[in-house]
Amino acid sequence: MILRFILFSLSTFSLAHAQRGPQITVVPATPAPPDAFQLQKTTVYPWKKSITATVFWIGEKPTQNNPTPNNKSSWDQNWQRNYGGYDNPDPKARNGYLPKGFTPGQNPFYIALPYNDCLNHKLHKPEAARVIPWWKRVITKPGRTVCKSRWVQIYSPHTRKVCYAQWEDCGPFVTDDWQYVFGNKRPKNKKNQGAGIDISPAVRDFLRVGNKATIHWRFIEFSRIPKGPWSLYGANNPFVNPKADLDLIERDRYMKHLLKLRDQAQRNRR
């Protein structure tokens, strides 16, 4: 009961702190599990401040300003089908944070960032292992993304609203800007006021912002995210589908590691 109260208090403080603005709380470090089994419960990622956000949606058709159709994503060739249909951004075609006519098969709170960690289905980009913070604690095969479905926290300084969403596509416009996504550089893209993130209609509506809004964003561990409308839908959403919980997968890996060490110690004592 005491542990539940402590966890609830920490979650409440985190959300209230985020609503006041993009201030970074330094969390005291705790002893970490070894090497690839690091859970990084205390990880606090830096904010990317004053970033232009453009609105995009699943099923968006190509235009002169955006030549890439969004029936597919960089990581899902059947993105629109897996989502369940066209994520119509027209407010008249929406029911709250959902498109009218169907219940999404994936989280309607999604975003795109301008980096793809994969060169193809067999290879990762050469810098991926070096620049992606969670690389060492994710089991992956060559060419399988470790970025898809990662969570971000988004703050609107205009409306003072905080939203959470999953990274499901690459863009706007470029897919190799790791210096911005994981580093300290500004977005290399110069189009649409130098846009550095695409947000879904659900994110737009929750933040109460328009296209080309200025926001702040950062990566966030799933264990730090409070429940909200972003926690209700989607097979890719660990709130709905525990098997999609990357933290749970990591904990399972670490427990197996501890059991292996225990068994080895028992054999050595014989």
Among 24-28, 118-122, 208-212, which stretch is predicted with the lowest mean pLDDT? 24-28
Give the model's pLDDT for residue 267.
86
**pLDDT tens digits for range 93-133:** 999 999 999 999 999 999 999 999 999 989 999 999 999 99
Q: Go through the domains of the chain in sequence order and give each one's CATH number.
A: 42-269 (2.40.40.10)
Average pLDDT over residues 204-220: 98
Distances in Å between the alpha carbon of 220 and those of 5, 169, 175, 177, 201?
A: 22, 17, 21, 19, 21
Give the tens place of pLDDT for each residue, 218-270. Answer: 999 998 999 999 999 999 999 999 888 766 766 777 677 778 888 888 888 87
Which pLDDT value is given to residue 62? 80
Q: 15-50 burial, b if ≥16 CB within 10 A, otherwise e?
A: beebeeebeeeeeeeeeebeeebebbeebebebbee
Strands 161-170 and 151-156: antiparallel
* pLDDT over 50 (residue 19): no
pTM above 0.85?
Answer: no
Is the pLDDT score of 213 beyond 60?
yes
